[in-house]
Amino acid sequence: MTQSIIKQSLKIPPLENGDQLTRFEFEKRYERMPNLKKAELIEGIVYMGSPLRIEQHGEPHAAIITWLGYYKALTPNLQLGDNCTVKLDPENEPQPDALLRIKNGGQSIISEDGYVEGAPELIVEI
């Protein structure tokens, strides 16, 4: 009986829309939900992705990526990202629709585990 109580207390609950969490707790829960496609932490509040429509999101998203891709092709030392996790600070971990960052000498870095840490030069949210 004691073991079952201990196991229950160690169980990590799933992410829920509206949860108030630290980035550390958010990441622990997110990692345990491999089928979850998108969740963001904004000012300590969890926001879960919802279905996206072509005219309100899909087409504008494609236009932004095309525009930024063209800009990147003509500008050295830039990195373009699409729906990448950004670890801004302890209360914010968005997954913006697009981002543009300076690779070397910019405001953000790429962490050892491959995430953007710090603020990229541009974040786009449709």
**CA geometry: angle 74, 75, 78, nearest 5 deg:** 130
DSSP assignment letter at 1: -
pLDDT band of 5, cuts 50, 70, 90: very low
Count of CB atoms within 10 A of residue 17's CB? 11
**Quick one: average pLDDT of 106-124?**
97
**Quick one: average pLDDT of 108-123?**
97
The pTM score is: 0.80
**What would the pLDDT profile of 25-64 be if each residue is shown by its tens digit?**
999 999 999 898 899 999 999 999 888 899 999 999 999 9
pLDDT exceeds cutoff 80 at 8: no
**What would the pLDDT profile of 80-110 be if each residue is shown by its tens digit?**
999 999 999 999 999 999 999 999 999 999 9
pLDDT exceeds cutoff 60 at 3: no
In sequence order, what are the beta bridge partners of 93?
Answer: 41
Cα 24 to chain centroid, rounded: 13
